[in-house]
Structure 1
């Protein structure tokens, strides 16, 4: 990603539904939804196994966020017997934690097919490798190609 064609967006790490990681104690997803989805996305051409099997919930100081571009768009992924098929978009990005750049992916189940665990409109879910010493309330930065996301006030 060329720096001159990048935008920076600050966000706060917030607590999500905790189903992605498996911390929600939902018996349908004992190891989390991300672990349950890895093989399905790999079969479609995206290997997310390099990422920690949870999402970072990124809350932006805006009313809503629009993802204008995606690197992957998978329709009607039937990843669990008890969940209707869902559509997913993914977009490459970089997280900045202090002075460290971390390759990551925006992970976005599409609202029109997602039946549970809706995210607030001003949040994105991000897949990243395990990050040491990250906490709710931390301020991080999303580095992404220009015009990929739009924050609405």
Structure 2
């Protein structure tokens, strides 16, 4: 991620929590027939985003009492028609980095715009991250993340 020449936050602790499992397609309540990211990732790549090697599922990271806010998105895709049976959605993205078991991973905050999303909304202290597959990662694990201050404001974090 250093190729972006960004100003990074300090590392802070987050907890991996279960999400709706719509992005990965593991939910029984999935309206799309497969994982939403399986459908979206190729379209994001067509828009020039470097997502070819990313896992088609999200990491849902609980910020605890911390909050995050967009200063401005690194990349935004507006009104993407990614499923023929549902309205177009808009997405915001930012690079981020996570560490687990001493290994650092480049990743991206994935933020479907709530104004265009049809359901499955995240709580205000949860961020969704897409990355390559991370072996050995389990719900309840505490991992470290850092975000670019150029795009994301984070308040009230526990630094680690």
TM-score normalized by structure 2? 0.85
Q: Which residue does 2:54 correspond to in 1?
A: 51
Whole-Å separation in 1 of the counterparts to 2:61 and 2:16: 5
Deviation for aligned residue 1:115: 1.6
SS at match of 2:45: helix
Q: Which aligned segments of 4 or more residues in structure 1 are displaced greater than 6 angstroms? A: none
Matching of residues 1-150 of structure 1 within 5 Å: 1=2, 5-26=8-29, 28-62=31-65, 64-146=67-149, 148-150=152-154
CA RMSD of aligned residues (A): 2.1
Deviations 1:28-87 (A, max 9, x none): 433300001122212211142211100000000126421223221011011012221111
> Which consecutive residues of structure 1, in runs of 5 or more, have no partner in the other structure?
none
> Which consecutive residues of structure 2, in runs of 5 or more, have no partner in the other structure?
none
Deviations 1:8-47 (A, max 9, x none): 2211000000000000034643330000112221221114
SS at match of 1:38: helix
**Contact 1:36–1:80 at 8 Å: present in 2 too?**
yes
Aligned length: 153
Distance change >3 Å, CA 140–CA 27, structure 1 → 2: closer
SS at match of 1:49: coil
**Contact 1:5–1:145 at 8 Å: present in 2 too?**
yes
